[in-house]
Amino acid sequence: MTFHHRIAIFMTFCILEPFILHALNMSPLFSLDFSKVEEWKPLETTFLKKEGETTFLRLQAVEPEKHVMIYRRLYLPQTNRPVALHLTARIRAVAIEHGAQNWNNGHLILKFKDNNDKEIPPVAIDLQFHGTTDWQTIDKVFKVPANASYLEIMPYLLQAKSGCLDIAQLDIYAATKDDLPKPPPIVASAKMPPLEQTPSPLRVHGNRLVDENGKEVWLQGVCIDSLQWSAGGEQILKSLQVAIDQWHANVIRLPVTDEFWAGRNKWQKDKGLKYRELVDSVIREANRKNAYVIVDLHRFKSPQDEHLEFWQDVATRYGNQPGVIFELFNEPHSIGWAEWKSAMQKLLDTVRQTGANNVAIVGGLDWGYDLTGVASDEYVLSDTPTGRGIVYSSHIYPWKFQWDKFVLKAAEKHPLFIGEVGNPRRWEDFSFIEESARKVKVGVESTWPQDVIGVIQANRLNWTAFSFHPKCAPQLLEDWNYTPTPFWGVHVKEALNGTIFEAKTH
C-alpha cells in the first residue's frame, strides 16, 4: 500500500520521532517542532499557518468522520526520571462539528505505555475541543507511572464531521511530586457495624496463624480480581459464591485501589460510596460463609502519601472485624530495603493509630517476591502490643527462582502468605518476561503447578491463587461458567478440595 493510499484510507499522520529525556532543568523535555513542517507538506490535512505574530499547526477535517492525527513519543529513562510531567499548550477549535458520537471531535491525548507498547491506564490527559473557541492556554501536571516506558502525544481530530484543531505551542517539562494537584480528601467512612456471622479472629503465633482458641488456621483460596480496574467490578459476588461453595476457598484476596475507594475516577459521581458498599458486601457474604477477606491495596513500586489516607479510612471502616485482613501494599519494587521498611512501617502505624488490630500482610521486594530482608531480621516491622501480628507476603510465578533463599527462609520465623501464584497458558501472554527467565515449561504440559502447590502444602504457607477471572492472566477460569483452566485452574481446584501434591523439582 502506497503512502498516498494510506492517507486516502486513514487520513492519519503519524510521525514516529523519539525524544530522549535529558537531565532535569528548566528546558522543555519535549516541544512540538514546527521547523520540520516541510516534511508534512504531502498531507493536505496538516499544515502550518500564521496569523499576525502567531504561527500554528492546523489539523483539518477535509473528509467527514476520518481520523486526522499527529503522533510523537517522549521516551522516559528507567532511572533518574521525574515523578511528574508538566504540560503547557495553546490550542483552539475552529468550527469543529462532532461526528456520529459526541466524542468524535478535537482531542489532545497523552497516554503512557510500557516497554511492550501496552497502554498504562488511566489516560494521563484527554482534552476535548469542539465548536469555535479563542486560543486556550493549557496548564496541567500529571504523574508518571512507575512502569512507563514512553509518553504518547497525540493532537487528534477523532472522526469529526468538520472543522480544524490549531496548535500554537505544546511543551512538556519535568515536574516534582509537589507540583502535582492535590486530590480531594476522602469522604470519611463510618465504621462497619459488627457482623452477626464471622470466622474466628486470627492472630500471629510464631510462624503460624491461629484462632482465638490457639488452633492453627491455614488460609487457602483465590484472588478475585476486577475491582482494581473497574469501580463496579465484574461478577464479584457470584465469583465469591463459587470460590467458597464449589472450590472450597476459606479466604478471598480482594484487590482494590485508593482511587476507586475515594471515588476519584472521572466516572464515579458518588465519592466512592457504591465501591465501598460492594467491598462491604464481599466481606459480609464471605464472613457469613466462614471465610476471610483480605483487602489488598493493589498498587506498585512504593507507598505514597495517598496510601496513608486510604489505610486510615479503610482501617476505620473495618477495624477489628474478625474476618478482615489488611494487605498494606501489593507489589513493592525498585526500592531498597531501608526505604521499604520505612514506607511499610508508616502504613502499619497508620492502621494501628485508628485502633484497628487486624492482622496485616506486608509484601516483599522484587514485585512482592523477595523476603531476604525479613529472613535476616534486619528489616522486620514492629507491631503494637494490641496488634494481632504481621504476615509477610511473596508472589511466585514461573520466572522466579531460588525459593529457598527468597521465600522459604523467612517462613522459619514468620507466617507467610503467597498472595499471588499462577501458571500461564503460554509464555507469549507474558512477553515482558525476558527469555533468560523462561527456564521452565508453562501451559498444560507444565509440572510447575504441581511443584509450587506441593511446596506451599509441605510448608503450610497461606495462599491465594491468581486469578479467579477468565481474562486476567494467569487465569484460573476459562469462562464465566467457572470452568477451570486446564493449565492452572484444575490444579488449584483440586488442591482446595484436598488433593496433596508432591514437589518433584524444588
Angle at 212 between CA 207 and CA 218, to 5 degrees: 45
More confident residue, 459 or 184: 459
As a whole-number percent, the residues of the chain with pLDDT over 70 amount to 92
pLDDT at 18 over 50: no
Please give the average per-residue pLDDT across 337-348, as a whole number: 97
pLDDT tens figures, 205-243 = 999 999 999 999 999 999 999 999 999 999 999 999 999
What does the pLDDT look like over 427-466, one tens digit per residue? Answer: 999 988 999 999 999 999 999 999 999 999 999 999 999 9
Q: Is residue 483 part of a domain?
A: yes
Same domain, yes or no, for 144 and 233? no
Cell of 241: 459464591
For the beta carbon of residue 448, count every other beta carbon within 10 angstroms. 22
- Mean pLDDT calculated for residue range 236-263: 97
Where does a domain end: 142, 177, 212? 177
Per-residue pLDDT, averaged over 248-258, amounts to: 98
φ, ψ at 400 (rounded to 5°): -105, 135
In a domain, 359, yes or no: yes
Same domain, 234 and 325: yes
- 340 and 476 share a domain? yes
User: Residues 95, 219: one domain?
Assistant: no
> Residue 23: pLDDT above 50?
no
Cβ pair 374, 398 in contact under 8 A:
no
State the pLDDT confidence band at 24, using cuts at 50, 70 and 90: very low
pLDDT above 60: residue 45: yes
Task: Identify the pLDDT of residue 50.
Answer: 85
Residue tagged 485502633 (cell numbers): 355
Q: Report yes or no: 183 and 41 within 8 Å, Cβ to Cβ.
A: no
C-alpha triplet 284, 287, 291: angle, nearest 5°: 140
Strand partners, 56: 49
Write out pLDDT tens, residues 471-502: 999 999 999 999 999 999 999 999 999 999 99
Q: Are 307 and 258 in contact (CB under 8 A)?
A: yes
How many angstroms separate the CA atoms of 2 and 199, rounded?
A: 67
pTM of the model: 0.77
Domain count, the chain: 2
What is the distance in angstroms between the CA of the first residue and the CA of the last residue of the chain? Answer: 54
Residue with cell 461478577: 235
Q: What percent of the chain has pLDDT over 90?
A: 75
Collapsed DSSP state (helix, strand, coil) of residue 318: helix
DSSP track, 394-459: EEE-TT---HIIIIITGGGTS-EEEEEE---S-GGGGTTS-GGG--S--STT-SHHHHHHHHHHHT
Whether residues 166 and 265 share a domain: the answer is: no
Asked whether residue 506 is assigned to any structural domain, the reply reads: no
pLDDT at 452: 97
| Residues 164 and 208 occupy one common structural domain | no
Cα separation, 309 vs 302, in Å, equals: 15
pLDDT at 70: 84
Extract the C-alpha cell encoding 90.
Answer: 495553546
Residue 184 covered by a domain: no
- What pLDDT sits at residue 179? 93
The pLDDT assigned to 3 comes to: 31
Helices (runs of H) and strands (runs of E) counted in the chain: 11, 24
Same domain, 225 and 112: no
Residue 20 pLDDT more than 70?
Answer: no
Query: Which whole number is the average pLDDT over 291-316?
Result: 95
Instruction: Check whether residue 169 and residue 299 sit in a common domain.
Output: no
Is the backbone peptide bond immediately before 122 cis, with ω within 30 degrees of 0?
A: yes
pLDDT at 65 over 80: no
**pLDDT above 50 (res 10):** no
- Split at pLDDT 50, 70, 90, the class of 261 is very high
- Look at residue 6 and tell me whether its pLDDT is greater than 70: no
Q: What is the CATH number of the domain that holds 403?
A: 3.20.20.80
Q: What is the CATH number of the domain that holds 112?
A: 2.60.120.260
Predicted pLDDT at 37: 57
How far is residue 205 CA from its own chain's centroid?
32
Which residues on adjacent β-strands are paired with residue 60?
164
Residue 411 lies in a domain: yes
What cell was used for 467?
Answer: 486469578
Choose the weakest-confidence range: 35-39, 221-225, 250-254, 279-283: 35-39
What residue numbers bound the domain in which 125 lies?
3-177
> Are the C-beta atoms of 434 and 480 separated by less than 8 Å?
no
Q: Give CA separation, 35 vs 31, 55, 478, 502, in Å.
A: 11, 11, 53, 67
Same domain assignment for residues 299 and 171: no
Residues 335 and 452 placed together within one structural domain of the fold: yes
Average pLDDT rounded to a whole number, residues 87-95: 96
Within a domain: residue 182?
Answer: no
The answer to whether position 25 is within a domain reads yes
Read off the pLDDT of residues 129-142 as tens digits, 9 standing for 90 and up: 999 999 999 999 99
Q: What is the pLDDT of residue 227?
A: 97
Q: Which helix (H) or strand (E) holds 162?
A: strand 162-175
72 or 387, which is more confident:
387
Please report where in the chains the cell 482465638 appears, as a residue.
212
pLDDT (mean) for 268-285: 96
Residue 121, C-alpha cell as written in the block? 491506564
DSSP result, 68-134: EE--EEEE--SSS--SEEEEEEEEEEEEEE--SSTT-SEEEEEEEE-TTS-EEEEEEEEEEE-B---
The three three-digit cell numbers of residue 199, written as one number: 470466622
Judge whether 454 lies within some domain: yes
Express each pLDDT in 357-375 by its tens digit: 999 999 999 999 999 999 9
pLDDT at 253: 98
168 and 216 inside one domain: no
Q: Kindly report the backbone phi and psi dihedral angles of residue 128, in degrees, each rounded to the nearest multiple of 5, phi listed first.
A: -115, 145
> Is the domain of 158 the same as that of 304?
no
pLDDT tier, 11 (very low <50, low <70, confident <90, very high otherwise): very low
Reported as a single tens digit per residue, the pLDDT across 405-423 is 999 999 999 999 999 999 9
CA distance 273 to 319: 18
